[in-house]
Structure 1
Amino acid sequence: MEFLSIEQGDLDGFLENAKMDLANLHPGGSLSEAEDFYKEIVGDKHLADLAAWHISSKDYIADTLKLQQRFSRNLVLDFGGGIGTHALANAMSTKVEHVFFVDINKTNRDFVEYRSKKLGVDNKLTFCKTIQETKISRFDTIVCLDVLEHLSDPAFHLDTFHKIMGPNSIGLFNWYFYKGENNEYPFHVDDEQIVEQFFKTLQLKFVEVFHPILITTRSYKKN
């Protein structure tokens, strides 16, 4: 409310309508790159959608934080970190030296920086628009959750992650290549060739590391 200057009486509606408000912004086939949607179109609607989803899916998110706590250490890349829940939790960890929060949406970056100052962990976070801006060649942990399905070439980003991971690094990834029963996720990629290339790249370049938590997020090391 404070960050977006929303009145108390408007908050419930802002969150309740968040998913469809975001979906209705999507321009359909006229969008040339999925990334452009999040960089230039969504504004604060993405914040609302993510906040509503985090509230309604708190048990699932709690499990992803447990998984992250299990593996995160030293230099962490949080790619497409959204409203920053995972980046902030990593910044609070004594096993983590520094978190590089990368998100193409400026509103998201500003909001997470705002949250980090409120929580007193802003000294452990750096905010960047791209991986290149981090100026880090090797990360010990890469977190990429609920992002890959939004990218026009998710296999390319797997290649990128592979290049910046060391032999002992761990990547935490998940995906949802599905537009929904009623096209409620029009911004998700579901092209058969793109998805197939993603899984071929995943199987070629990564080996799954077992973890016992029953969630969609998987942990990987370099093959």
Structure 2
Amino acid sequence: MFVNTKDNSIKKNNDYFVENNNIILQPIIGARRWDNIFWAIITLAAGSGFFLTGLSSYMKKTILFFIAPSDLSFIPQGVLMLFYGALAIFISVFLWFTIAFDIGSGYNKFDKLNDSIKILRLGFPGKNRFINLEYKINEIKCIQVSIKQGINPKHEIYLCTKNNNRIPLTQIAQPMPIAILESEASKLARFLGVSIEDIKS
């Protein structure tokens, strides 16, 4: 985590960290979440099971005690097991990689005293590991709330600049309730002295 929430000058107010009503500091949770860890474990376990089952059918040896080599023929069942197992293991490794490096974590900092806004996120290792965006408060046009319902709902808050850039402020996780999303967006819009726009679909 980038922010030191133990700093006595920072007082917690709901999900915000406010100092003398002039600074808002929002910690953002990245990939290091329990739901990601859960799915990484499940995907690794399932992928390993499929892969070892396929390998067992190829070697004609019992690798998993509950699968006998004679139960499966290598072509086509064993080949498919190896393929899907390898794919699941690859996905699991990718998930563990994002969890280990906490991809997407960071903070949003709004500072009236210095007339500045700083958006910091962790990316993948390399020269772009730290994604750092900085703006002046007077460059901001509005706060935008985007609500998309359906199978893959998205409830997001955007910072919209006067040159039409849209910077997402919410963390990548389960969508927060609409009432809370709109309340947080309204607080931020009042703090920055800008309007708020709703986009619903």
TM-score normalised by the chain length of structure 2: 0.27
More helix by share: 1
More strand by share: 2
Which is greater in Rg? 2
